[in-house]
Chain A
Amino acid sequence: MAVLNINGVSHVVDAPGDTKLLWVVREHLRLTGTKFGCGIGLCGACTVHLNGEAVRSCQLQLSDAEGATITTIEGLDPKGQHPVQKAWLELQIPQCGYCQSGQMMNAAAFLESNSSPSDAEILDAMQGNICRCSTYARIKQGVRRAAQMMQEA
């Protein structure tokens, strides 16, 4: 038995310690906003926050995450109103939407570390997240817009 702190709630998980954090989050706890994309940390669809940092949950094991504070898209904001989420809605960024939880989690953590990024910094920060609908033009705008909202707040 392991205990995980996810979105402010303690979850008791009955799974082997080497189970990928991604599968614990998605398949055991059914927080399915976090997506499986590649399993090798190259697409970003499974991005969650571990102690505030954006990490690929397919590259972590359950045992790595015990004692940490984990946030998934479901807990990014209690009302789904994080500036990144508001910007994503305002700019109508998602198409199929499958990669967008990971995009938003990555963007949110990035903006915590850099509240006023240049375009080049945005592209560098977001290049680990693949979007096959190719919403890239809008993702770039979305990160900019969210940064602006965070500064106004």
Chain B
Amino acid sequence: MTKHMKDLGGATRRDVLVGSAVAGTGLVVGYSVLPHVTGGAREALAAGNFEPSLFLTMEPSGIATVHITKTEMGQHVGTALAQAVAEELEIDWNDVRVDYPDSHEKWGLMITGGSWSVNWTFDRNSRIGAAARMALVEAGANMLGVPANECSAANSTVTHTSTGQSATYSEIISAGPIDRTFSEDEMKAIELKKFGEYKLVGTSVPALDIPAKINGTARYGIDVFVPNMVYGRIVTWPTRWGAMPKSVDDSAASGIDGYIKTEIIEDPTGVQRGYAIVLAESIWAAEKAADAVSVDWDLGPNASVSTADILGYAKKATADGEGFAWVIDGDTDAGMSNAATVVEAEYETSIGYHGMMEPMNCVAMEQDGVWHLFTACQWSTRCTAMTAEALGVEPANVVHHQQYAGTGFGRRLEPDAMIPAALAAKAAGRPVKLVYTREQDVMFDFHQSLTYQTVKGGINVAGDLDTMVHTVCSAWATKRQAPGFLAESVDKKGKIDPFSTNGSDHWYNVPNQYVRSIENLVGQSATPPGQLRAVAPTWTMWAVESFLDEAAHAVGRDPLEFRTSLLKAVGKNVGTPPNTVGGAERLRNALLVAAGRAGYGVKPLPANTAQGIASVTSQERGSPTWTACVAEVHVDPESGEPTVNKLTVAMDVGTAVNPDGVLAQIQGSAIYGTSRVLYENITMKDGSIEQSNFDTWTPMRINQAPEIDVNIIQNGHYPAGTGEPVVTVVGPAIANAIQAAVGARVRSWPITAEKIKAAMQEA
């Protein structure tokens, strides 16, 4: 798939045009097609040297539409991105709309994930808004016959400061034409507002996507209908990956009213080897027919793989020294030989299921040689390219039409519903709507990999952790999704997956550190790995933060004090603007806020109840969101049953563009993470996933949810991503609390009463 992955950096840096081709038609703001336009914006527009409506379109009525090339999957991303534009545009927020355009090369890389959306675009969107405002002020001043530098803009109106004469944006755009080009240097030189000067950024304006979500009108991928469509249903494969239908006997389905046929289709992309797809006139007929047909399968290479095989491979590969280095700092050999105390532990995380409420789906339709895909997708660039490959057409002839996502969590980075929908539509000669059953969504997820880690620490005579050796073994999602994103190892011996290793390069001052990243080849084939909300720090932070507590206990130090003593903004942990300015001190501060708010070490607690602490810098070392959590957990001494009473979270987000949106993300991710470590488990037997629906895969429900106290720290630094970090911090905080409560250390997921009970008996 790499051959389709050019332009990974997004649109190249070119001139920004603010203009209207013809008076009264409105205003568009976007990049020029060619670098350095010679004429004005108008001339470029007239010549077609313009990618229309790349960022922002304004109508003569004064309504501005901000075009959002990110997936709306519950994070209200459109609202936050539009707030950044509107702040500098000085537009009345009531005049702002958002839309979600179809996929096209002109948008550059279309991907939503990694808590990147606000973090990557805040500066750019602010400058786009400012450029449009400057063009409007200049045009407005011209209309009023006054110098532009004597005018200001606010509430969708340009005002001449001394005389009070004014023109609304609507009047200015209607009078048009506007013709303004900003060179790259000019864009860079625009002076933006600073923290403390914002009017709209930092306010909790209501999310623009919510009204449609309370009256049933919001349209998700599963809600799409096109004329003349039929329903497709995949016949469930007998193994997660590698099975191929050899033949189909559909005699038992032939009497079902509306049944059309069952097609066997090969998949040249390898997302699956192939499909048996039932086609029918109604979804109910497709459902019944898929149950009725009998398929003879070639089971493929994974038919005997179990969870134990995946874990067994991980342990062997780790012991055999497989993998390559991700961090080499100082001298770990010397550190270990000088250590007064050595602490060693192994940590595991189970296979994870995304569990989106809206199962995977797609409507595929061909029209005049162009393929149209209707669904919610987090990575249009990749998924349209792979569907094109499956169909044998040019990527430019596959268009993705974005829909609201019934959440994503990284699952919708994958094209696995698009490809069979498109192949089935090709075979049927009619549009196809394909919807996964819940069972298929559970079993044919691109799961979060099972992981196995070892951590060995050396603590010196002063009681300080100065040496860490850490191995991380998992299947590598990046190798499947975009091998071009694999990174050269620091010892230059091979490639490793940074998105499977991130987080192990933590912000604690441990002068001698070595991290080795190992691919789990058995897991890679049997459980094709995907990215799941918060990605690698889900497991790396689990190991690091569990281990820090174990190390602190080994030398009789308090886990909070042990951590803060390692968090000084020195050496490689000093930090640099914009994302990591302040460095390790910001993590220390978040820890102290969480501890203080929770009454850590002070609050009186009943027997078998304790607080545990953890802090994380998810998701990448270069784009950390400084986050800490105190979990208060009670353990029933008889059964071992854990109850999470309360989670106190502190997060340094720099600047919260929409504080209520940030709060919602933290509340949700705290429960998502707690559910993951306590309730969610996926296992494999005979190459197949053993769980299939909400009866066997049992996420947290409202009556099980803990109280959450959220503390958002704003200090005016650049906005950090907020949708993911808390997922990674709650697990180790809960495990650390369990140890503090009853002396039991659980090192694998899910954390169950049985494991706690067993660990209590060992302790």
Return chain B residues, CB-CB under 8 Å to A33. 215-217
A107 to chain B, nearest CB (A): 11
B176 within 8 A of A: no
| A42 to B439 Cα, complex, angstroms | 13
Q: Are A34 and B705 touching (Cβ within 8 A)?
A: no
Q: Is the interface of A mostly helix, strand, loop or mixed?
A: loop
**A136, B215: Cβ atoms closer than 8 Å:** no
At the interface, yes or no: B492 with Cβ under 8 Å from chain A?
no
Q: Determine the main DSSP class of B at the interface with A.
A: loop
Does B675 count as interface, using CB distance less than 8 angstroms? yes
Give Cα A19 to B288, complex, Å: 10
A85 touches B702 (CB 8 A): no
CB closest chain-B residue, reference A32: B223
CB-CB under 8 A for A126 and B74, given A92-B207, A96-B357 = no
Q: A96-B74, A97-B74 are in contact. Are A37 and B215 (CB under 8 A)?
A: no
Chain B proximity mask over A87-127: 1 for CB below 8 Å, otherwise 0? 01100101111111100100000000000000000011011
Chain A residues near B356: list those with CB within 8 A: 98, 132
The answer to whether residues A139 and B702 also contact, given A35-B406, A38-B693 and a CB cut-off of 8 A, is yes
A19/B209 in contact, CB under 8 A: no
Contact A130 B283 (CB under 8 A): no
Measured between beta carbons, the chain B residues less than 8 angstroms from A59 are none
| Docked-complex contact B211 and A89, CB < 8 angstroms | yes
Interfacial chain A residues near B257, Cβ < 8 Å:
16
A131 interfacial by beta-carbon distance below 8 Å? yes
| A20-B219 Cα distance, complex, nearest whole Å | 21
A95, A96, A123, A137 — most chain B CB neighbours (10 Å)? A96
Give me the 5 closest cross-chain CB pairs, A-B, nearest first: A33-B216, A97-B213, A98-B406, A96-B74, A95-B74
| Chain A residues, Cβ within 8 Å of B547 | none
**Segment at the interface with A among B38-46, B302-310, B663-671:** B663-671
Could you tell me which residues of chain A, from 12 to 51, have a CB within 8 Å of some CB in chain B?
15-16, 18-20, 23, 26-28, 30-40, 42-43, 45
User: CB within 8 A of B668: which of A19, A39, A134, A140?
Assistant: A134
Chain B residues with CB under 8 Å of A34's CB are 216
Kindly state whether residue A80 has any CB partner on chain B within 8 Å.
Answer: yes
Given contacts A36-B222, A98-B407, contact A132 B357 (CB under 8 A): yes
Within 8 A of A (CB), among B187-236: 204, 206-207, 209-220, 222-223, 225, 231
Residues of A within 8 A of B282 (CB): 15, 19, 23, 27-28
Binding site for A on B (CB under 8 A): 73-76, 204, 206-207, 209-220, 222-223, 225, 231, 257, 282-284, 355-359, 404-409, 435, 437-438, 660, 664, 667-672, 675, 693-695, 699-703, 705, 708
A85 nearest CB neighbor, chain B only: B214
Determine whether the beta carbon of A134 is less than 8 Å from that of B705. Answer: yes
Q: Please state if A123 and B214 are interface contacts (CB–CB under 8 Å).
A: no
Given A73-B215, A97-B210, A101-B216, verify A136-B705 contact (CB < 8 Å).
yes
The size of the chain A interface, using a CB distance under 8 A, is 57
Other A-B contacts than A42-B694, A80-B214, A134-B670, 19 sampled, CB-CB below 8 A, are A19-B282, A37-B438, A42-B695, A72-B216, A85-B215, A89-B206, A94-B74, A94-B209, A95-B664, A96-B358, A97-B214, A97-B404, A97-B406, A98-B220, A99-B357, A134-B700, A134-B705, A137-B671, A138-B664
Nearest CB on B from A98, distance (A):
3
Q: A130-B701, A140-B702 are in contact. Are A94 and B214 (CB under 8 A)?
A: yes
A70 to chain B, nearest CB (A): 14
Q: How far is the CB of B243 from chain A (nearest CB, A)?
A: 23
Contacts A32-B223, A38-B438: A89 and B210 contacting too (C-beta < 8 A)?
yes
Q: Is the CB of A123 within 8 A of B703?
A: yes
In the bound complex, what is the Cα–Cα distance between A129 and B702 (angstroms)? 8
Instruction: Say which residue of B409, B668, B694 sits within 8 Å of A43 (CB atoms).
Output: B694
Q: A132 near B407 (CB under 8 angstroms)?
A: yes
How far is A138 from B670 in the complex, measured between Cα atoms in Å?
A: 13
* CB within 8 Å for A97 and B660 given contacts A15-B282, A36-B435: no
Beta-carbon contact of A135 and B216 below 8 Å: no
Task: Establish whether residues A15 and B225, one from each chain, have CB atoms under 8 Å apart when the complex forms.
Answer: no
Interface core residue of A42, A123, A129, A131 (most chain B CB under 10 Å): A131
User: Which residues from chain B contact A40 at a C-beta distance below 8 Å?
Assistant: 438, 693-695
- Asked if A53 is at the interface (CB within 8 A of a chain B CB), the reply is no
- Number of A-B pairs whose CB atoms are under 8 Å? 169
Contact indicator B695/A134 (Cβ below 8 Å): no
Q: Which residues in A have their C-beta under 8 angstroms from that of B699?
A: 130, 132
A133 interfacial by beta-carbon distance below 8 Å: yes
Would you give 14 A-B contacts (Cβ < 8 Å), ordered by A? A28-B282, A32-B220, A34-B216, A35-B220, A36-B435, A85-B215, A95-B407, A96-B404, A96-B408, A97-B209, A97-B406, A98-B406, A130-B701, A140-B702
Q: Which residues of B contact A30 (CB under 8 A)?
A: 225
Query: Do A134 and B284 form a contact, CB below 8 Å, given A42-B695, A72-B216, A94-B210?
Result: no
User: In this complex, which of A89, A98, A127, A136 has the most chain B Cβ atoms within 10 angstroms of its Cβ?
Assistant: A98
- Taking a contact as CB atoms under 8 Å apart, the answer to whether A74 and B284 are in contact is no
A136-B74 in contact (CB<8A):
no
Alpha-carbon gap, A127 to B694, bound state (A): 13
Given contacts A42-B695, A97-B209, A130-B357, is CB(A137)–CB(B667) below 8 Å? yes
Specify which chain A residues have a CB less than 8 angstroms from the CB of B408 in the assembled complex. Answer: 96
Question: A131 to B357, Cβ gap below 8 A?
Answer: yes
Given contacts A89-B210, A134-B668, contact A38 B694 (CB under 8 A): yes
On whether the beta carbons of A32 and B671 are closer than 8 Å, the reply is no
Q: Are B667 and A15 in contact (CB under 8 A)?
A: no
Contact A95 B406 (CB under 8 A): no
CB distance from B715 to the nearest CB of A (A): 25
Whether A27 contacts B283 by the Cβ 8 Å rule is yes
Contact of A134 among B212, B213, B358, B671 (CB under 8 A): B671
B231 to chain A: which residues have CB within 8 Å? 27
Give Cα A43–Cα B702 distance, bound, in whole angstroms.
12
Task: For the complex, give the distance between the alpha carbons of A96 and B376 in Å.
Answer: 11
The answer to whether B695 and A15 have CB atoms under 8 Å apart is no
Shortest distance from the beta carbon of A145 to any chain B beta carbon, whole Å = 13
Question: Quick check: A39 and B437 within 8 Å, CB to CB?
Answer: yes
Distance, CA A11 to CA B306, complexed state (A): 50
Q: In the assembly, what is the distance between CA of A36 and CA of B357, in Å? A: 8
Contacting pair A15 B284 (CB below 8 A): yes
Closest chain A residue, CB of each to CB of B694? A42
Q: Is the CB of A74 within 8 A of B215?
A: yes
Tell me the smallest distance from the CB of B287 to a CB of chain A, in Å: 8
Residues in A whose Cβ lies below 8 Å from that of B211: 89
Whether A39 touches B407, Cβ cut-off 8 Å, given contacts A97-B213, A130-B694, A136-B671, is no
- Residues in B neighbouring A37, C-beta threshold 8 A: 357-359, 438
Q: Complex: how many Å from CA A139 to CA B702? A: 9
Q: In whole angstroms, how far apart are the Cα atoms of A88 and B705 in the complex?
A: 19
- Interfacial chain A residues near B219, Cβ < 8 Å: 32
**A32 vs B53: C-alpha distance in the bound complex, in angstroms?**
31
Given A19, A96, A104, A131, which contacts B214 in the complex, CB threshold below 8 Å? A104
Cα of A132 to Cα of B532 in the assembled complex, Å: 13
CB distance from B437 to the nearest CB of A (A): 6
A74 and B219 CA atoms in complex are apart in Å by 13
